Amino acid sequence: MKHYELPKQNLWTGRISNKWLYLHEKVHCTPLKELPEAQKKSIALLGYACDEGVRRNQGRIGAAEGPDVIKSSFAKMPNHLGSNVRLHDVGSIICDEGDMEAAQNQLTEAVNLLLERKQFPIVLGGGHDVAYGHYNGIKKYLDFKKEGQTIGIINFDAHFDLRKNTEQSNSGTPFYQIAKDCEKEGVDFNYLCLGIRKDANDRNLFQTARDLDVIYVMNDTFQIPLLNEITTWINAFAKNVDFVYVTIDLDGFSSAYAPGVSAASPMGFTPHMVLECLKTIIGSGKLISMDIAEMNPKYDIDGQTAKLAASLVHHVAHAVSGG
């Protein structure tokens, strides 16, 4: 399969217990095409090893190495998943010769396949252009125009990523592309951004957000003291859609927690705030898939960002499976 790399067993190492106490002892490295339809709860980790969109967006490249580093960090963590829960590493989508669009198309097919086989997909990036391929995979699976099902996107991010792709698509354009596709198809564009910063988006982007009826929460409001209000907004957003797709851009976190990203800033939000919001989203029962974007090992310090990403995966995997 072009633009695809098989899972790497050597990423899954750690403390040996012989009692499935650690996730590297729990995981099954399973090529995509060999993945069976799940008969019980099952989680599939899929890499998106592409930072071509970051390069096009004039960012710091290196995020193509992100998926393997997150998997390696996740492997060493304790396993609290029930014996009835399966965990698969299904490999990574890769970007050959800068062909980001082909990688996104392959990601669309892979996400659709995972959902068809009753997996809960967790996609690990890679640049935030992951969102366009990921969303289209969910859309293909649901065929929501025919069935009338709606998808709501919740993006934890400092940036809107609503840049217009008038020249070339990149890591800053995915949600604008989705909005334009929704417009062509005559369906609503349901997009909630949490953690938006004024120092990270120009006024044209704010105007685009207003034009597209984007719901957003500024970073100075996205704080624990206002958690009750944020929870109310999340619940109201989730109530109006059939399914929720969550995307977490690691550069939205303060660089105190996430130095290893393509666009680091000390002014970002905290992990605790995101975890509290994830509890609300998962509690809605509508979360269909999620991804983590912009992990850049080249700029990480002592593996902090990789551990943060792995901890987010750990939390979601256990929460959606009841573990």
- Spatial CA neighbour of 174 closest among 273, 268, 103, 274: 103
Please answer whether residues 128 and 298 qualify as being in contact, where contact means their C-beta atoms are separated by less than 8 angstroms: no
User: 119 — phi, psi (to 5°)?
Assistant: -95, 155
Does 188 count as an annotated binding residue? no
Contacts of 30 (CB under 8 A, 6+ apart): 7, 88, 89, 90
Rounded (10°) CA dihedral 101, 102, 107, 112 = 100
Please answer whether residues 161 and 200 qualify as being in contact, where contact means their C-beta atoms are separated by less than 8 angstroms: no
What phi-psi label fits residue 143: left (phi over 0), alpha (psi between -120 and 50 degrees) or beta?
A: left
Does 249 count as an annotated binding residue? yes
Please answer whether residues 309 and 124 qualify as being in contact, where contact means their C-beta atoms are separated by less than 8 angstroms: yes
Please provide the DSSP assignment of 266-287 as one string. Answer: TT-B-HHHHHHHHHHHHHTT-E
298 to 3, 26, 229, 243, 305: CA distances (angstroms) = 23, 28, 37, 35, 11
Does 128 count as an annotated binding residue? yes
Does 251 count as an annotated binding residue? yes
- In the annotated binding site for Mn(2+), the residues are 128, 157, 159, 161, 249, 251
- In the annotated binding site, the residues are 128, 157, 159, 161, 249, 251
